[in-house]
Amino acid sequence: MNAPLRLHAAEHPGIVTQPAGPIDPWLTRLVKLVPAEIIAVYLAGRPLAEPRLAGTWPVVCLVLTIIVRAFGTSDHRGPQWLSVAVSAVSFVLWVYATGGHFLSLPVDPNLAALAVLVWTTLAPVLWRGDPSA
């Protein structure tokens, strides 16, 4: 498997691509660290889960985030656990920002939305991926 979600600190030598602008590596890391596919699953399933599984559905989706991201970052060295953790935090913040909750822990959605903005801006700056081999 080629680990499509795995982050690398530098481009692989020998791959011919168009020159990247200064924002390209940051944007690539951002896309790989925010679990948009599971956020979509969560939002699509939330109305169905509301009557009886409102507190459980976010936990199920958090587990899905960990599984999908561990699989997507896995190569011969194993999963990239720091990327998985960053994606999990991103998912939790998005749940709160969209008015959801985990295990009845209340968080103001406006505060969570601000946290999403700060987190999604800084996470790709702080975590750049594995060093080049």
Q: What is the pTM of this model?
A: 0.82
Residue 10 forms part of a structural domain: no
Q: Is residue 18 part of a domain?
A: no
**Is 74 among the domain residues?**
yes
Instruction: Dump pLDDT digits (tens) for 40-82.
Output: 999 999 999 988 887 899 999 999 999 999 999 998 889 999 9
Residue 8 forms part of a structural domain: no
Domain that holds residue 89: 25-126
- Let me know if residue 65 belongs to a domain: yes
Choice between 5 and 77, residue whose per-residue pLDDT is larger: 77
Q: Rounded to 5 degrees, what are φ and ψ at 105?
A: -85, 110
Q: Name the pLDDT band for 15 (thresholds 50, 70, 90).
A: very low
- 5-14: string of b/e by CB count within 10 Å (b at 16+)? bbbbeeeeee
Please give the tally of structural domains in the chain. 1
In the numeric block, the tokens 């601000």 are attached to 114
Query: Contact, 101 vs 95, CB < 8 A?
Result: yes
Nearest by Cα to 37 from 75, 77, 64, 14: 64
Helix, strand, coil shares of the chain, percent, nearest 5, are 60, 5, 35
Structural Rg of the chain based on CA atoms: 16
The model's pLDDT over 96-113, given as tens digits with 9 standing for 90+, comes to 999 988 877 888 999 999
